[in-house]
Amino acid sequence: MKKIVLQISIAIFVILTFCSLIFVPSTEGKTMNTKAKEALNILMEGNKRYAEGKLLHPHQGIDRRKDVAEGQHPIAIIVACSDSRVPPEIVFDQGLGDIFVVRVAGNVLSEVNIGSIDYAAEHFGIPLVIVLGHTRCGAVTVAVKGGEVTGHVRSILEAIEPAVNEARKQCRECDLVDAAARINVDRVVKNLQDSGPILSHLIKEGKLTIVGAYYDLDTGKVELLSK
């Protein structure tokens, strides 16, 4: 009897240990696999170096260029605004082949950039997507102020307008641009999480985590938004 109890105890211990290695708590309140957590830690440590002016400029030499010439294995996908002040490789202190970047004004979604995200997540097995908004975003500012715009800019503003409308409901005396930019990030994260057939499937299998983040132009710091 004692032998059976001991065997059962050992089995439970092994199972619990295995689960703790595979899954860790995430900022979404669900589960974030170990690779996603490691990638997020690397990027946030890189941002800390950047904000403190202690850049390492990793993977930017000739040897790295040769290493990635025939293939790439990025640790994360960054969906960022096209703003010239928010280059993800610099903000996260990364180098060649480290991150797969999709940039568009207002970090909004279209079929084309979702396709890019789908491809990278599935083809390279990337475990983490970060949607990166930022303070004083020009596209969000224009969407908040309204007025006439020309050309294809209208399509960008139309994608941001739902976030602006939500911000107007929630925000009475706060910075409307800042509130709308943050809500816009949350909306993009949710839309990506629901995007099938590829992203939603990878999330369901525990192979992909998508989080929102917000970059401060003044401090250089990236803040995780997802709860």
Burial class (CB in 10 A: 0-12, 13-18, 19+), 94: buried
Those residues with Cβ within 8 angstroms of residue 220's Cβ, 6 or more apart along the chain or in another chain: 47, 50, 51, 91
- Mean pLDDT computed over 193-217: 96
**The tokens of 94 are what?**
């990364």
The domain 24-224: what is its CATH number?
A: 3.40.1050.10
Domain boundaries, the chain: 24-224
pLDDT tens digits, 65-115: 999 999 999 999 999 999 999 999 999 999 999 999 999 999 999 999 999
What's the pTM value of the predicted model, to 2 decimals? Answer: 0.84
Q: Could you identify the residue written with the tokens 């994260």?
A: 189
- Mean pLDDT computed over 115-129: 97
Write down the pLDDT at residue 227: 53
Interatomic CA distance for residues 27 and 37, integer angstroms: 10
pLDDT tens digits, 173-189: 789 999 999 999 999 99
DSSP state, residue 213: E
How remote is the C-alpha of 199 from its chain's centroid?
A: 13
